[in-house]
């Protein structure tokens, strides 16, 4: 999800991850947070880590 630069909806996550039904669970665990416009956000630290991992993988 670090590919999303900002807020995203469950529908967008579903487009990348078919069968995606865990948004509520990830939000409850603070892996995802609600943004100011009601969408979901990956916290900055998680997003940076994901971006670094993606860059390492090519």
| 22's tokens | 């865990």
| 15's tokens | 């487009």
Task: For residue range 2-57, list pLDDT tens digits in order.
Answer: 878 889 887 887 777 766 667 778 888 888 888 899 888 989 898 899 889 989 98
pTM across the whole model: 0.68
Please work out, in degrees rounded to the nearest 5, the angle formed at the alpha carbon of residue 7 by the alpha carbons of 20 and 14.
15
């Amino acid at each position: 999800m670090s590919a999303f630069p900002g807020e995203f909806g469950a529908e967008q996550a579903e487009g990348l991850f078919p069968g995606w039904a865990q948004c509520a669970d990830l939000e409850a665990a603070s892996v995802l947070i609600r943004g100011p416009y009601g969408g979901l956000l990956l916290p900055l630290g998680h997003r940076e880590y994901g971006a670094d991992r993606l860059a390492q993988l090519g």
